[in-house]
Structure 1
Amino acid sequence: MSFLNLAPAMGNPKFCWNSISNDSDHILRRNLISMLQNSKDMNHARSIHAKIIRKGIFQDPFLVFELVRLYCKINSIDYATKVFHHSENPNVYLYTALIDGLVSLGFFTDALNLYAQMINQLIFPDEYVITSVLKACALLLALGYGKGVHCQVLKFGLSLNRSIALKLMGLYGKCGRLEDARNLFDKMSERDVVACTLMITCYFDHGLTQEAMALFSKLQSSDTVYWTAMIDGLVKNGELTRALEIFREMQENNVKPNEVTIVCVLSACMQLGALELGRWVHMYMSKCNIKLNQFIGGALINMYSRCGDIDAAQSLFKMLKVRDLTTYNSMIVGLAMHGKSIEAIGLFREMIKRRLVPNSITFVGVLNACSHGGLVELGYEIFQSMETEYRIEPQVQHYGCMVDLLARVGRLEEAYDFIGKMGVHPDDRMLCALLSACKIHRNAKIGDHVAKLLSECNSIESGSYIMLSNFYASSGRWNYAAKLRKKMEKGGILKEPGCSSIEVNSVIYEFFSGDLRHPQRKRIYEKLEELNYLTRLEGYIPATKLALHDVDDKQKEWALAVHSEKLAICYGLISTEPCTTLRIMKNIRICNDCHSMIKLIAKITGRKIVVRDRNRFHHFENGVCSCKDYW
C-alpha cells in the first residue's frame, strides 16, 4: 500500500472544478447536465452519451462526472468505468463518483484499488471519497486497509470531519475494535442521535447490552432509526422481552416505526411464539401507513408460521401481489416445519416455473420437507440438482437434511455411508439425528460408530452430550452415561433445561419441568392429575423406559408426568375458553411419552393443540397428530 507513504503536504489538486475552459454553448451543456441528472434508464443514458460525443465535448469535466454518476445509478458499472478511463486527467470528483458507485454496487475491493490509484497519482482526497472508502473497508472488514486510510485522514487534516469520524467508528466497531470506536465517540464535540445510534450498534455488536441501554437512556429522541437500532440490537442479543418493551415505549413517545422496526418486532414475536402480539403488529401496520411488500411479507410469513398459525401464513402469501425468492423461501420453510411436505414441494416447483432461481436457503427448506415426509427418492433428486442444475455447492446443512431423511426411514447404514462420502465434516447436529434414529430403530452397531464420531467432534454442545448419554442409558450402559455426565460437570457444560411457553391474553408464560413458580400452580397440578386419570382410561401408559435415569418406575413416572409441555397445556386449559387452540413452544425435542399423552388430551378436551419443538410443529387434534407419529 504505497499510498500510505504519501507526504501530507501535496499542494492543491492538479485540476480545480472552477477552472473549466469556456464552452461556446453553455445552454447545451446545462441542458445535457440536466438530462443526465434526471435520466433513469440505459437507453436514455446512451443516447445522451452519444450526443455528447457528437458535439465533441466528451472531455467536459461536468459532463464526464454526471455520466459516471448516471451509469453507476442505473447499475451499469462497466460503462461508468469505461467513461472514467477515457477521461483525461481525472480529478478527485471523478474518482469520488466512480468509487462511490463501486461501493454502492458492492464492488468494494475495486473501490479500494481505485482509491490507492488516486493517491498514487498525487490527487488530494476529500471527505466524500474518504467516507466511501471507509464504508468499503467496514463492509469488507478490512481493518488493516482502514487503519491506513485513518493515517491519511490524520495527515490531510480531516480528523475533525464529522462524517469521517462516524465512518471510522463504524469500521472499528464492525472489526472488533470497540475501544477505538469508543475513543472516537468520546472525542466528538457533538454526540447527537446519529453518533449515539452508531455507538449503540457497536455495543450490541459486542454483546454489551447494558452499555447500549445506558447510552440509549441518556438521549431522548424521536428519531425512528435511533429507536429501531435499539430494538434490533436487543433482538439480536436475545433480549426479546426487553425489545418489545422498547417498542411499547416507542409508541408511548409517539415515534412512528418504519419497515425495519416492524420486521425487528416481528422477529421478536416469532422467537417468543407471541402470536397474538404478532397479529396486533400486523394490524398496527395500517395505522402507520406501512404497506405490505415482499420485505414485510416475508417477516409476517415467518412470524405466523413459526408461531404455529400456518394457515394465516399461507393466506398472507397468497395476498402478496409480488412474490420474490425471499417470500417463497419463507413459505417453503414454514410448510416444511409444519409437516406439509407436499405443499412445500409444490411451491418449490411453482417457484421454478416462475423462473426464480433457488438459493441455499431454498434447498434447506425443500430438503427438510422431503425429510418430514419420508420422500427419499425425491430428496436425492433435489439434492443432486443443487450442483448439476443450479451450481450450488451443498453445505453441511444440506448434507444434514439428507442424513436426517435417510435416518428417519430406517436406512441407517446408507445414512452412515453417506456421511463418509460427504465433502464436508459432519457436525454434531447431523450426528445426533442419526444417533437418535439408531436408538429408535434399535441399531446398536451403527449407533456405536456414530457415538464415536460424535464424541470426537471438536465443538460439541450440551444437547449432544445428553444425546450420547441417553443412547448409552437406553441400552443399559449406565456407566458410560454416568461418565459423560461427569465429563459435562467437569467441563462446566450445563444441560439445557426443557422449557415450554404458552401465550395467554398476550402474555407469555414459561414452564420448566416440575415447575412450582406459577401463582396458579395448585390448579395446574390438579388439572394435570385429572388428565393423568382420564388419559389412562383411554389406554395411556407412561413410557417409563424413556425416563433414562437409574431410578425406580415410580420416580420415572413422576419425572415424565411433570414435563414442561404438560404443565403449559394444563395452564392453557384452565386459563382459556373451551375450543380455544393452545399453542406451545418448546426449546428441545418433544419426547414420545408427551407426544402420546397430548394426542389423548386433545381428544378428551376437544381442543386443537399445536406444539413447536426444536425440529418441527405438531398439530394434535381428535387423538391424532399431523406428523402421523413420524418425526
Structure 2
Amino acid sequence: MKLGFTTHARQLFEDMPSKDVVSWNVLICGYSQNGHPHDALQLFVHMLRQSFRPNQTTIASLLPSCSCRELFLQGRSLHGFGIKAGLGLDPQLSNALTSMYAKCDDLEASHLLFEEMAEKNVVSWNTMIGAYGQNGFLDKAVLCFKEMLKEGLQPNLISLTAIISSYCEKGDVESAVECFIQTMQLDIKPDAVALISVLHGITNPSHFPIGCAFHGYGLKNGLSNDCLVVNGLISMYSRFDEIEAALSLFFDRSEKPLATWNSVISGCVQAGKSSDAMELFCQMNMYGQKPDAITVTSLLSGCCQLGYLRIGETLHGYILRNNVKVEDFTGTALIDMYTKCGRLDYAEKVFYSINDPCLATWNSIISGYSLYGLEHKAFSCFSKLQEHGLEPDKITFLGVLAACTHGGLFYTGMEYFCSMTKEYGLMPNLQHYACIVGLLGRTGLFKEAIEIINNMEIRPDSAVWGALLSACCIQEDVKLGECLAKKLFLLNYKNGGFYVLMSNLYAIVGRWDDVARVRDMMRDIGGDGCSGASVIEVTPLRDSNNLCPSEFHLNTSTWQHLCLY
C-alpha cells in the first residue's frame, strides 16, 4: 500500500486464510492514503458484514477519506458509529475528527471537539491551528498558537507552517516572512511545505525580490532539490514573466515527474509563451511521460492564445480516447478553446455532454454566448444554473453584463448589476464597472455613467474610462471624448488604444487634421495604430515535405508528435 500497489495489496488480503482487525485496518488505511475513499468505505461496510469489530484506528483511518463535502455525511455517520460502539475519543481519533470537520467547513464542530479534549497534545493544537487557517480565520489561528505556547507546549514544523500558510493565503506576505524568521529564531528549521506556502503567496510584483530570497534559502538548506519546491519556484518565476529562470530550473532537474512537466507547461502558457509549451509537451512525450487532465487543460489554454483549433481538436481526441473525465476544469477548458477558436457549435456539444456542469463550466459557456452576441442564450444559461442549485459569482455576472453591452440592453444590464450587488452581495470589480459604464454611455446616458464612476469604491482604471470613450465614438460626442482622452493620457500615455479611439472619433465627425495629429502622436510613442494580427487556420495543400502548416510556428517534429495523440 505504501508503494501505491493497491491491487496487489487487495489480492494478498483476499488470499489470507485468516484475517484480524489489524489486517482490515491496514487495507482501509492504504485505500484512504492512496486517494481511494469509496473503496475504503466499501471495505469498512464489508468488514462489518463479516462480523469484525472496528476499533479506534479503523475510524481514524477512514476519516481522512471523508474530508470533503461529497462524503461529509459518511464522516458524520462514522463519528456517530464510534460513539454508539463505545469507542472512547482518544487524541488520535479526536484529532482526525477535528481535521475532518474543518476540511468540510464545519469549524463549529471542530472547535467543540477540540474544547472537549481532556488531553491536548501538540498534534491536537496543530490540527486546530490548521483548521482556523484553512477556513480564513487567521486571527483565531494566531490566538490558538499563543494559547499553545502558554500551555507550555513547544511548537514544531507543522503549527508554524499552518500560520505561515494562513498569512500567505490572505496575501500578507510581510507577516508570513516575519513568522518564517521567528521560526528560525526558535531553532526550528522551516521545511519544504513552509517554503512552498510562501512561494504560492507571492503574487504581487513588489514581492518578487522576496521570492528570489526564498529561492536562495532553499538552495542553502538543500530544499531546492525537493520536487514540490521546484514546482513552486517554476510557478513563481512564470507568474512574473521570468520564463527563462523557470526553464533553467526545469532543465537542471535530472528527474522530471509529471507535476514538474505540468508546472513548466502551465507557466509557459501563463507567460504567453504557448508555442514553447507545445514544444515542451512534445519533449514530454519523447521522455515517455503520459499527460494527465492538468497537462491537457494547460495546452488547451495555449490553443486559445494561438488560435490553434486543430491542435485543440487533437487534444480533445486524446481526452476521448483515454477516457479523461470531461468535467470541471477539463470541460471548461475545452469550451473556452472552441469558443475562442471560432467553433461555438463544438463548444455547445461539449457543454451538453457534461452531466453535471460546475459553475466554472456554466461561466465559460455564458461568456462564449456573450462573445458571439447571443445574449438571450447567455441569459437562459444564467437562469438554468440557478435552477441547478448553483449561485452565480462575479465571473457569471461579468458574462451576462458583457452580453447586455453587446446587445445594447440597458435595462436588463442594470437589473443584473443591481442583483449582483444587492441580492448576492458581490462587490463589482473594474471589469464590471467597465461593462456598466460602457452600457450607459452607448445609451447616451453620460451623466449617469460619470456618476457611477465618481461613486466607485475602487479607483477607475483605463478600461473604465476607455469604455466611456468608446461610447463617445458611438454618440459622436467630441467634447467629452477629448476630456476623457486627456485623463487616459495621464493614466498611461503609451496605451495605444485610446489614440485609436480618438482617431476614430475625429474621423466620424470629419476632423481629418485632428486624425492626422493623433496618428503622429501615436507614432511618436512607437506605434502607428495599424499593426495587428488576426489568427485564422486554413488547411493548406500538403506534400511529403510539408507536414505542418507554417502558420503554426511549430517544427515538423512537434506537429508529428502532437498528431500522435
Taking structure 2 as the reference length, what is the TM-score of the superposition? 0.75
2:126 to 71, 87, 96: 96
Kept in 2, the 8 Å contact 1:71–1:77? The answer is: yes
User: How do residues 375-394 of structure 1 correspond to structure 2 at under 5 angstroms?
Assistant: 375-394=409-428
1:145 to 175, 181, 185: 175
Instruction: Report 1:209-224 matches (<5 A).
Output: 209-224=243-258
Aligned to 1:34: 58
CA contact (8 A) 1:371 1:379 kept: yes
Report if aligned partners of 2:440, 2:449 keep a CA contact under 8 Å in 1.
Answer: no
Counterpart AA for 2:279: E
Deviation at 1:196, TM superposition (A): 2.6
| Structure 2 Cα separation of the partners of residues 30 and 238 of structure 1 | 54
1:47 and 2:80 are equivalent in the alignment:
yes
8 Å Cα contact 2:211-2:236 kept in structure 1:
yes
Asked if 1 retains the 8 angstrom alpha-carbon contact of 2:499 and 2:518, the reply is yes
2:505 to 460, 468, 471: 471
Question: Is 1:236 equivalent to 2:236 in the alignment?
Answer: no
Identity of aligned residues (%): 28
Post-superposition offset of 1:111:
2.8
Q: What is the CA–CA distance in structure 2 between the aligned matches of 1:504 and 1:195, rounded to whole Å?
A: 42
Which of these residues, 101, 111, 123, is aligned with residue 81 of structure 1?
Answer: 111
Q: Which amino acid in the other structure matches residue 407 of structure 2?
A: G
How many angstroms apart in 2 are the aligned matches of 1:349 and 1:328? 11
Cα distance between partner residues in 1 of 2:312 and 2:368? 16
State how far apart, in whole Å, the 2-side matches of 1:30 and 1:313 are. 50
- Please name the residue that 1:419 is paired with: 450
- Secondary structure of the residue aligned to 2:153 is coil
Out of 509, 514, 522, the residue aligned to residue 551 of structure 2 is 509
- In structure 1, distance between residues paired with 2:203 and 2:462: 32
Aligned pair in 2 of structure 1 residues 106, 407: CA closer, same or farther (>3 Å)?
same
CA offset at residue 419 of structure 1?
Answer: 2.6
Match of 1:62 in 2: 92
Query: Offset at 1:207?
Result: 2.1
Preserved CA contact (<8 Å) 1:499 1:510? no
Taking the aligned partners of 1:399 and 1:193, their CA distance within structure 2 comes to 42
Give the superposition deviation at 1:297: 0.9
1:49-86 CA distance string (max 9 Å, x none): 7559x88x55x433432332332244322111122123
Match of 1:72 among 90, 102, 105: 102
Q: Which moved more, 1:452-461 or 1:136-145?
A: 452-461
Match of 2:217 in 1: 184
Cα 1:481/1:363, change in 2 over 3 Å? same
How many Å separate the matches in 2 of 1:100 and 1:125? 13
- Supply the distance in 2 between the matched residues of 1:162 and 1:132 (Cα, whole angstroms): 13
Q: Deviations over 1:140-185 (max 9, x none)?
A: 2333332333234323433275555555555678742133122123
Offset of 1:278 from its aligned partner? Answer: 0.5
Q: Which amino acid aligns with 2:56?
A: L
For the pair 1:309 / 2:326, whether they are aligned, the reply is no
Question: When you count strand as a share of all residues, which structure comes out higher?
Answer: 1
**Match of residue 393 from structure 2:** 359
Q: Which has the higher contact order (CA 8 A, sep 6+)?
A: 1
Q: CA deviation at 1:350?
A: 1.7
Q: Is the 8 A contact 1:332 1:344 kept in 2?
A: yes
One-letter amino acid of the counterpart of residue 206, structure 1: F
1:593 is matched with which residue? Answer: none
Partners of 2:435 and 2:405 in 1: CA distance? 7
The 1:219–1:32 alpha-carbon spacing in structure 2 relative to 1, beyond 3 Å, is closer
Tell me which residue corresponds to 1:568.
none
Which of 365, 369, 376 is equivalent to 1:335?
A: 369
How far apart are residue 362 of structure 1 and its match?
Answer: 1.0
Give, in angstroms, the shift of residue 324 of structure 1: 1.8
Q: How far apart, CA to CA, are the structure 2 residues paired with 1:348 and 1:290? A: 27
Structure-1 separation of matches of 2:467 and 2:215: 45
Q: What is the 5 A alignment of 1:434-445?
A: 434-445=468-479
The code of the aligned residue for 1:179 comes to C
Alignment length (residue pairs): 478
| Higher deviation after alignment, 484-493 or 195-204 | 484-493
The answer to whether the Cα contact below 8 Å between 2:441 and 2:449 also exists between their aligned partners in 1 is no
Number of the residue aligned with 1:206 = 240
Secondary structure at the aligned position of 1:123 is classed as coil
Q: Any residues of structure 2 matched to 1:447-466 within 5 Å, and which?
A: 447-455=481-489, 457=491, 461-466=495-500
Structure 1 residue 459: Cα displacement: 7.5
Given the superposition, is the C-alpha separation of residues 303 and 416 from structure 1 closer, same or farther in structure 2, using an over 3 Å criterion? Answer: farther
Report the CA distance shift for 1:320/1:217 in structure 2 as closer, same or farther (over 3 A): same
Maintained 8 Å contact 1:33/1:66: no
Q: Decide whether the 8 Å contact of 2:366 with 2:399 is kept in 1.
A: yes
Q: 2:148 aligns with which of 104, 118, 121?
A: 118
Are residues 1:134 and 2:164 paired?
yes
Write the distance in 2 (CA, Å) between the matches of 1:186 and 1:71. 37
* Structure 2 match to 1:608: none
Q: How many Å apart are 1:186 and its aligned residue?
A: 2.0
SS in 1 for 2:290: coil
Q: Give the Cα separation in 2 of the matches to 1:285 and 1:108.
A: 41
Higher mean displacement: 501-510 or 184-193 = 501-510
2:534 aligned counterpart, secondary structure:
strand
Structure 1 window deviating more from structure 2 (275-284 vs 465-474): it is: 465-474
Matching residue of 1:559: none
Paired position in structure 2 for 1:497: 531
Following superposition, the deviation at residue 339 of structure 1 comes to 1.3
The structure-2 alpha-carbon separation of the partners of 1:468 and 1:117, relative to structure 1 and needing over 3 Å to count, comes to farther
CA distance in 2, matches of 1:383, 1:172: 32
Distance (whole Å) between structure 1 residues aligned to residue 145 and residue 549 of structure 2: 54
Higher relative helix content: 2
Residue segments in structure 1 that go unaligned for 5+ positions in a row: 1-27, 512-631
2:460 and 2:373 map into 1 onto residues whose CA distance is: 25
CA shift, 1:259, in A, is 1.9
Instruction: Please state if 1:299 is matched with 2:333.
Output: yes
Q: Residue 153 and residue 380 in structure 1: after superposition, are their counterparts in 2 closer, same or farther (change >3 A)? A: closer
1-structure distance, mates of 2:528, 2:233: 34
1:345 Cα deviation from its structure 2 partner: 1.4
Distance 1:62 1:402, change over 3 A: closer
Q: How far is 1:296 from its partner? A: 0.9
Larger Rg: 1
Q: Describe the superposition over 1:524-558 as per-residue Cα deviations: whole angstroms up to 9, x where unpaired.
A: xxxxxxxxxxxxxxxxxxxxxxxxxxxxxxxxxxx
Distance 1:373 1:112, change over 3 A: same
SS state at 2:334 partner: helix
Task: Report deviation, 1:274.
Answer: 0.9
Cα drift, residue 118 of structure 1:
2.3
Q: 1:154-169 to 2 correspondence within 5 Å?
A: 154-159=184-189, 161-167=191-197
Please state whether the residue corresponding to 1:308 is helix, strand or coil.
coil
Cα 1:456–1:195, aligned 2, differ >3 Å: closer, same or farther?
A: closer
Aligned-residue RMSD, C-alpha = 3.3
Residue of structure 2 equivalent to 1:586: none
Q: In 2, Cα distance between the equivalents of 1:150 and 1:260?
A: 31
**SS of residue matched to 1:500:** coil
Deviation at 1:298, TM superposition (A): 0.9
Q: Decide whether the 8 Å contact of 2:401 with 2:435 is kept in 1.
A: yes
Which amino acid is 1:153 matched to? T
Deviation at 1:390, TM superposition (A): 2.1
